[in-house]
Structure 1
């Protein structure tokens, strides 16, 4: 249970209107209570993209003092109605780090933490908010239950590269140059094995490896797709699995990566996309 230290006072989803008591409105987050001015800790790692008083018309109006984190999945995690804020914009916080205190600032019926997960993290107004309340946010409980710290995912990738390609990586969860070099080696081995590319397996993205690159898209299966998924994780995307199957989630992750890199958004992993992933 992600919120074991809290008492849940209002769940995500439709609830009776708390102001009028008439009809139902959609609650975009979950309301959590410890006690007034209790320390609020970050549920995951993330970068602070807003910290302070939310203003009307910015996508943060009515939430009082807030902290908005951008996580590894480019989701916006909002901690609202805080009594005080102890972080600042641009700061990177770790899971469990204190970011503020429980409060009753903004439009509220009492001291609590309103926590919501916006589908998109934006660094400017409206900060990922949309008027479509039912599709604006993710269920916070399910999101955190399925959330895995990036370190553990990278460790899985390193272990997989060692098993598949004997790359000799340390399983340290650090997605640095050595891990990327090992992924390129794996890619070169697969090009040699599947397409007789006759590449030197050196872990270097050069012209010969680029020339031998094959385009893969939805429906592809196997180790090359696995390497694609691994590199998407390393680059901060979330294909939602290392299963070697190029399905909807991998397609969406490729498109997200392509958009961030300002290259053709076609959901296919061709020469340009692979180059951006490996460099």
Structure 2
């Protein structure tokens, strides 16, 4: 009954508020992202392995999405404030997880459901970010990091597809431009150089449709147009290349594997009972 109440509260909130309100939340994207958005799409999936852990403390991949998420974190505050008026007692962790789910759908991605009723963590420490996946990771590094949390190489690649939404900042990929990167398309390298000419904070979309959840991120990798080292390595490495090719050729397969991995991610390190709390303010513990 409690979980049903939480879902109905959230559905009511979505109905009352504008579509763009939640959509912009995930285009924080996971965030390098990331989104999930962000997020949040990217912030939620990749972040949960490296940064979020149901603390509803938003960290991001290689530091990039920390900036993105904190810049958009006021949206979480607004959602929390509105929900407390209409349906008090919804955790920040649930808000972020459900917002990530909805952002995927609003951006054109698959529909999926996740369990509700998680609590917020009782720890919010910047030092917890030391284990974030770096934008300079290779496929072996990523497989190892995700594997430590029970995710297969294929699930890792599917979750990385959250980069189909959002942008990366020049500071996270400019190291690829200081010397010849054999895995970087030479014409795309010129595009990245032009982006970086505007400074470290200049933004480069991960693919041609930065606001759409589709499989063009994988098309970009096949073409050597991966923005980050940790993107392009997914195609370069024999351990993950077949997954990239499959998703580039079959968007429905990507959607299916992504939603299944997201559901699995939503069950990671859930705080229940005395192990967690429902924060009054998402930015700090009670």
Normalised by the length of structure 2, the TM-score is 0.29
Q: Which has the larger radius of gyration?
A: 1
Q: Which has the higher strand share?
A: 1
Q: Which has the higher helix share?
A: 2
Asked which structure has the greater RCO (Cα within 8 Å, sep 6+), the reply is 2
